[in-house]
Amino acid sequence: MNFDLTATIVFVVLFVFVTWVGFIAARWRKADLDQLHEWGLGGRRFGTIVTWFLLGGDLYTAYTFIAVPALVFGVGAMGFFAVPYTIMIYPILFLVFPRLWVIARREGHVTAADYIRFRFNSRLLALAVARGSSRLCPISRCSSSAWKWSARSASTHGFAGHIPLIIAFIILAAFTYTSGLRAPALIAVVKDMLIFVTIFAAIVIIPAKLGGYGAIFDAVPQAKLTLTPPTGNSLGNFSAYVTLALGSALALFLYPHSMTGILSASSGRVIRRNAAALSAYSFILGLIALLGYMAIAAGVDKNPLHAAGFERYGANFAVPALFLDMFPSWFVGVAFAAVAIGALVPAAIMSIACANLFTRNLYKEYWRPNCSDAEEARVAKIVSLVVKVGAVVFILAIPHSYAIQLQLLGGIWIIQLLPPILLGLFTRGFNAHALLLGWAAGTAVGTYMAASRGFVSSIYPFEVLGLTVPGYAALYSVIVNLLVAVVLSPVLDRLWPQAEPLDRNPIRR
């Protein structure tokens, strides 16, 4: 990875522009940023178009651009599970989250844990939801990789290689502190434009250089073009593919950065419109996944110039290597800037979401229940800085293998919030204590499943009646969670009645 002046200049110019956008966002739809809902949710005033860019920039990140084609490059067709899962999430978004938004807007909720505290009148369950929602590490790791790839020179070794990352997080911290959620909302527009240009150029130019799509698919080994068929006593990759798609769809909008984007919308109608319009990103995702096959056809892993990159990052270096081989330096700068900015948007939203959770559901709930609005916003801003510092320390100090483990566990842990958050919107049949025990059981089972696989795979070979059904551990564990909650709710209603709900009509519109 030799230093390229042209690509570096293009990258730096685009990043400086994005930095400027982040700071001027404080003046966009100007409001009192000493109010938490203004700083942390943009005043709940984002319309259809802004919400589309914000959620798109939030959900389709550097992880999408790098990791999805890397999975296709490494294991083949299994990597395409991301396409159907991003199709399945939008009916869930359409049917469920406008109802949550109505309650949150009516009662002034800023986080999902606020809703749980209000709905079930249980401090412990709200604390569990707040704790389970805090998952920044996977996003931070992708941000780290994006910046390291963009600074592809000899200086990437040693502490000097971390300087671009540290600078990026300092700037990210500064414009997030001053502008709140408005900054990533505006930056997401720039990020998506860069991603669109990069992807559409890639799907036209790269196949033309490789002899067309027919030649690309001919170059891919047959084993990577299809899923492994079921054998006599195992469903093979079929069940793994289906459960990965379904489990990921159920979990995605439970992440705090996704929830923050939804709650920042100006109405339930905006959320419904986006449930339809965001499906355009699923089409883009399918094109992004094809980059993995293009990298196989281009033989990027056989190029000695990329040996160091693959040694350090494995299959995750496939897309950067492909762009380095196929495009001129100035366009490589554009593509790498798109990846890096794609990492900054969710990192900013995640830090804001974590700050909202800490301030509302720990600081105000347990330490300063009578704090003023200005104090609440000030604490959130400070916590957002601390979260970013912690992310940088994590990136620099924790080995790559541990980051993968935490990313794997993230999906398993976050899906455990499904029963209290989503199902609680439609029924009063759940007891808060039973939901808390279900959450604990699901978390324990999911963690055990991941540990039994050595934290190297999220697919657990579940055996039933002599048949092995490999499946996503997150989905299996949330089924345990739900069963515990359903079975124990009527029992605990008699033995350990919960407090009277603060919300006497949770589905009032």
H-helix segments, 60-181 = 62-75, 82-107, 112-120, 123-133, 137-150, 163-179
Distance from C-alpha of 313 to C-alpha of 318, rounded to nearest angstrom = 9
pLDDT, tens digit (0-9, with 9 covering 90-100), for 395-428:
666 655 444 456 667 888 899 999 998 888 888 7
Does some domain include residue 207? yes
Task: Write down the pLDDT at residue 164.
Answer: 65
- The answer on pLDDT for 156 being more than 70 is no
- The answer on pLDDT for 70 being more than 80 is yes
Distance from C-alpha of 287 to C-alpha of 296, rounded to nearest angstrom = 15
Does some domain include residue 390? yes
430 versus 271: the higher-pLDDT residue is: 271
Does some domain include residue 412? no
- The answer on pLDDT for 159 being more than 70 is no
Does some domain include residue 466? no
Give mean pLDDT, residues 439-449: 94
Residue type present at position 134: S
Alpha-carbon dihedral 367, 370, 371, 374, rounded to 10 degrees = 150
Q: Are 28 and 366 within 8 A, CB to CB?
A: no
180 versus 428: the higher-pLDDT residue is: 180
Domain that holds residue 313: 5-400
Show Cβ contacts of residue 494 under 8 Å, excluding neighbours closer than 6 positions: none
Does some domain include residue 499? no
| Confidence class for position 373, pLDDT limits 50, 70, 90 | confident
Task: Write down the pLDDT at residue 296.
Answer: 95
CATH number at residue 194: 1.20.1730.10
pLDDT, tens digit (0-9, with 9 covering 90-100), for 219-239:
999 889 888 888 778 887 888
Residue 97's nearest CA partner among 55, 134, 131, 130 is 55
265 versus 305: the higher-pLDDT residue is: 265
Give the total number of structural domains in the chain. Answer: 1
Q: What percent of the chain has pLDDT over 70?
A: 87
pLDDT, tens digit (0-9, with 9 covering 90-100), for 299-340:
998 988 888 778 777 788 888 899 989 999 889 888 888 887
Give me the chain's average pLDDT, please.
83
Q: Given 3-state DSSP classes, what are the helix, strand and coil percentages for the chain, each rounded to the nearest 5?
A: 80, 5, 20
Q: What percent of the chain has pLDDT over 90?
A: 30
Does some domain include residue 336? yes
| Range picked from 51-60, 146-155, 459-468, 469-478 for highest mean pLDDT | 469-478
Task: Write down the pLDDT at residue 148.
Answer: 52
Distance from C-alpha of 462 to C-alpha of 472, rounded to nearest angstrom = 10
Task: Write down the pLDDT at residue 140.
Answer: 47
| Confidence class for position 4, pLDDT limits 50, 70, 90 | low
**Least confident stretch, 5-14, 143-152, 374-383, 494-503:** 143-152
Does some domain include residue 155? yes
Task: Write down the pLDDT at residue 279.
Answer: 85
- The answer on pLDDT for 137 being more than 60 is no
217 versus 280: the higher-pLDDT residue is: 217
Q: Are 245 and 289 within 8 A, CB to CB?
A: no
- The answer on pLDDT for 507 being more than 50 is no
Task: Write down the pLDDT at residue 271.
Answer: 95
- The answer on pLDDT for 72 being more than 80 is yes
Does some domain include residue 449? no
| Confidence class for position 97, pLDDT limits 50, 70, 90 | very high
Give mean pLDDT, residues 141-147: 50
Task: Write down the pLDDT at residue 138.
Answer: 46
| Confidence class for position 493, pLDDT limits 50, 70, 90 | confident
- The answer on pLDDT for 266 being more than 70 is yes
Residue 176's nearest CA partner among 191, 186, 162 is 186
